[in-house]
Amino acid sequence: MEKDSIQYIYSTEEMEEVSQFISKRFGDYDMVMGEKNSEGPRIDIAIIEPTKRRNYYTLCTIGLGAYMMNIDEEKSPLAQEYIELLIYLPANWPISPEKFNDENNFWPVRLLKSTARIPYYEDSYLTFGHTVSSSEEATYAANTDKVGAILLSPVPDPLEPVICQLSSDKEIEFLQVFPVTKDEMSFRKANGSNALIAKLEDIKKALGIKKWIDFALSRMASAA
């Protein structure tokens, strides 16, 4: 069977377990940006709205984890075969179909979806510490200086793996898409991901920010 003729979707039981895990770990959600037609895994996005406890949006893919990635075990012996991705947005970020017509508002969603497509289209994999970048390292939109992203674990601890264990024996790792600047991407290329993560921690401390969620939110431009 040709690869592009296969449907990469969760079973009903897997979908229920993944949805329950997202709700328990990241928050309840009612809104889902559905994907009607796609090649490879169907990647919907759960939109977890701000609450008093979590005063920010969490946008989380649902469906990427149905696709088994082609992992280079020599380079990444700890990489999981299945992942889902998420990104955090400030509580005042414009979230609606109309607002998403403006790329200044939509770029984090585009970044999330385009990153999620990499394992399928490149027959490769994504894991903790991997970086992605825009074409020619151009900024994602006019209102941001971010040109790429590094994959970290979700908050509160960007170094602590978050794994969803399914009854089907699959393990799905959830990874945060953390936007970075051109200088930070260059630093990573010269020094590696671990050095970039340490540099980001230094930046966070220099700004007087204690929590990684506040750091992640501070790096998102205020949408117009």
Residue range 122-128: mean pLDDT, rounded: 97
Residue range 183-191: mean pLDDT, rounded: 96
Our CA angle for 125, 189, 187, nearest 5°, is 130
Look at residue 89 and tell me whether its pLDDT is greater than 50.
Answer: yes
| DSSP tag of 154 | P
Q: Please report, for residues 28, 54, 222, the alpha-carbon distance to residue 145 in angstroms, rounded to integers and kept in the order given.
A: 31, 26, 12
Where residue 30 falls among pLDDT bands split at 50, 70, 90? very high
Least-confidence region, from 12-21, 38-47, 70-79, 100-109:
38-47
How far is the C-alpha of 95 from the C-alpha of 35, rounded, in Å? 17
**What is the per-residue pLDDT for 49?**
98
User: pTM of the predicted model, to two decimals?
Assistant: 0.95
| DSSP tag of 69 | -
Where residue 135 falls among pLDDT bands split at 50, 70, 90? confident
Please enumerate in sequence order all residues whose Cβ is within 8 A of that of 78, keeping only pairs 6 or more positions apart, or say none.
127, 128
